[in-house]
Structure formats: C-alpha cells, structure tokens
Amino acid sequence: MKLLYFTMPTRVFLFLWLFGQILAKEPPDVTCLVINLESLRCMWNLQGTPEVNYTFHSWFGYQRETICAEYLSENGTNIGCTLPYIKGQRFEPFYTKLEDSSKTYEKKHDLKGKVKLNPPTNLTVKNGSDLNLWFYWNQTTSHTCVESQVQIRKNDNNWETLDVYSGQQHYVQNLPSSTARYELQVKIRLSSSCGQSDFWSDWSEPVVWGFNNTTVSNAKNGEMPVWTAVLYVVSAITLILLVVILLHNERIKIILIPPLPKPALNSPDVEDWFHFSKGLVKERFNTNFNERACTVREYQPVSRSDSNASDSSRLTTTTDQTDCSIPIAVNEPEDTSAPFYTTVIASEDEQQVSV
C-alpha cells in the first residue's frame, strides 16, 4: 500500500481547513440580557459575525413560540433580536431557537441574574448646612430594590470605589477641603432582596465640585491657562511702571522713603545740639571757658664748648621761648648721650645761651 506524503505547507493548510470545519459545525452561542427591566435583547455574534442569516424564535415557560419582530443587523447579517419584556418574566425559564436552511439550535436561559439597568442621571452636588458635601442622583428605574456604588476622587488622585446602602440615592463627603476638586460617578444594579443581578450598569456622567474642568485639564496637559498668563503679564507691567514712577517722582519718593532728619546748626548755643541725660545739668555745660594762649617758636640747636664753661653745672638752653613756660631746676642731671638737650627758663628776660 502506497502512503500519501504531504509537504509542510500542505499539512498546515489541511489542519486549518479541518479546524475551520469543526468551528463551523458548532452552534452559535446566544446570550440574552434584560435591559432596564423594559426590554429583552438576545445576541448571537460573540464568536464573530455569522456567515448566514438565522431566523430567531423564543418563548417563556409554556407560552407559544414567537418569531423575532425586530432584528439587530450588521452589514446586512442578523446578529441579534429585541423582544418586549413583561414584569416578572426574568424568573421564568426562557428558550431561544436559531434556524437556517438546514440546521436548528435551541438553548435554555436563566434570566434572573441577567438584568442590566441604565446608569443614573441628573447627578447634582450641594454644600449642606452640616459642612458636608452631598451628592444626589436619579435612578432610571422605579424599582425599589436597587443598590448603588460610587467612585470618587480628589483632585487627580486615583478613584476610590465605595458601596452605598440599598435604596439610597445620595452620597455624603464629610468635611471636604475648600481648595480641592471632587469628582463622582455612580452605577447601580438590582440588589439581592429582589434577585441580585450579575451586571452593574455603566458609570454615569461625572459630577464635579471645586475647581473648574478647564483649569484641571490644562494642568494635565502641562499648559498654563490663558487667564493665568494674562494676569502674570499685567502684574509684571504694573510693577515696572511703579518702579519707574518712584525713580522719577521725588514727591512719591519722599512719601514712601522719608529722609532722615538733619540737625539744625543755626543755633548759637552748642548745648542745644545735644541730648542731656537726667544726671547732667545743662547749666553746668559752661561755654565761656577761657584758656591762656601760648606762643610757640621753632627749636634751634645751639653749639656749646666745654673749655669756656663758666661753672660745673653745664647749663644749656634752647632758643625756643613761650609765655607758658614752666621753670625747671638749673642743676638737673642731663643725658650727655643726646646730640643736644634743652632747658626751659622761667621768663624771656633770663635767656642765656652757652656757646
């Protein structure tokens, strides 16, 4: 027996073809969801857009089978169906059937946990009298068994997710910071008291309290807001103008920087210039003090001779004379090592010069 031999590319092609045939034989998966307790939507395109147009049939419990009256299509191919919903039907078994020209696919669904509500609307925020921040919202369904979940963030921090008690339609932010920006979103679902749903609604539109969105958005992009830049420019120009005016206007300079007071020198009494302490009597400051003037002359050296000395005292004097001279003893010892030495005589009439 001769065995068939296939090259590697041929083997890969055959493998992909067989895998595609297997997938084509699998029935399409139908998923159904109750939308806001108002309608029922079933889809069969989770595995991709089907290659053929299926006919959709459905029924609750022992009710009669009905064909889809409103198809959802994509590029001309049916991918889903929208059905009317009656209150309480989600607790009943639900059956679907897809048919094409040669095959039929049936499936049973449990719709109890397959409810998705619409997101809350009309979010508002108010400052309460208790100094807290109150967030309010409206539910899109009148059902009382609704639980909420909020996500809130301060400034640009990460979101914080918090649960809200069932039935409440508000959230309280205790003692908010007046310099911070708060942003809040809400989502809802049916609570466990009414058959808890496995699906939360989408997040609502955010509500913001604090700084406006423009300022925060510009800060994120690293851009300075226009009004901030204008304020900086105006402030700089104003500061420059004030400096120029101050430098060129003496009157403003005197007002802003008053000069130090100067003492008045036109007073004939010198004592008026000073501040007398408590222990000093002004009258004791005598300005009529007189001192005798003395005439001063230049010193001139005078030569002397040891051979002609008239006595042993070797009396010598200088040619300088004053009216305030003080008498000095004649026989006072002298320093012979000095080049010359002088003695002051009591009066001008008693000058003697030794040569």
Residues 122 and 204 in one domain: yes
Q: Which of 209, 225, 258 is the last residue of a domain?
A: 209
Residue 92 is assigned to a structural domain of this protein = yes
Contact 220, 156 (CB under 8 A): yes
pLDDT digits (tens, 9 = 90+) for 149-189: 999 999 989 999 999 988 889 999 998 988 899 999 999 99
Count of domains for the chain: 2
Tell me: do 126 and 105 sit in the same domain. no
Q: Output 83 or 335, whichever has higher pLDDT.
A: 83
* Residue scoring higher pLDDT (310 or 263): 263
Residue 52, domain member (yes or no): yes
Domain of 63? Answer: 30-114
Would the pLDDT of 96 be above 70?
Answer: yes
Position 63 in a domain: yes
Give me the CATH number covering residue 109. Answer: 2.60.40.10
Is the confidence at residue 221, as pLDDT, over 50? no
pTM: 0.54
Residue 341 falls inside a structural domain: no
In a domain, 249, yes or no: no
Look at residue 257 in the predicted model and tell me its pLDDT.
64
Average pLDDT over residues 310-317: 46
Residues 199 and 123 in one domain: yes
Type of residue numbered 262: K
In a domain? residue 220:
no
DSSP 101-129: SS-EEEEEEE-TT-EEPPPPEEEEEEE-T
Q: How do residues 30-47 score in pLDDT, each as one tens digit?
A: 999 999 999 999 999 988
pLDDT given for residue 354 in this prediction:
39
| Domain membership flag for residue 191 | yes
The alpha carbons of the chain give a radius of gyration, in whole angstroms, of 58
Lowest-pLDDT choice from 50-64, 83-97, 277-291, 304-318 = 304-318
Q: Is residue 274 situated within a structural domain?
A: no
Mean pLDDT of the chain: 75
Domain boundary residue, one of 184, 209, 234: 209
pLDDT score at 350 = 43
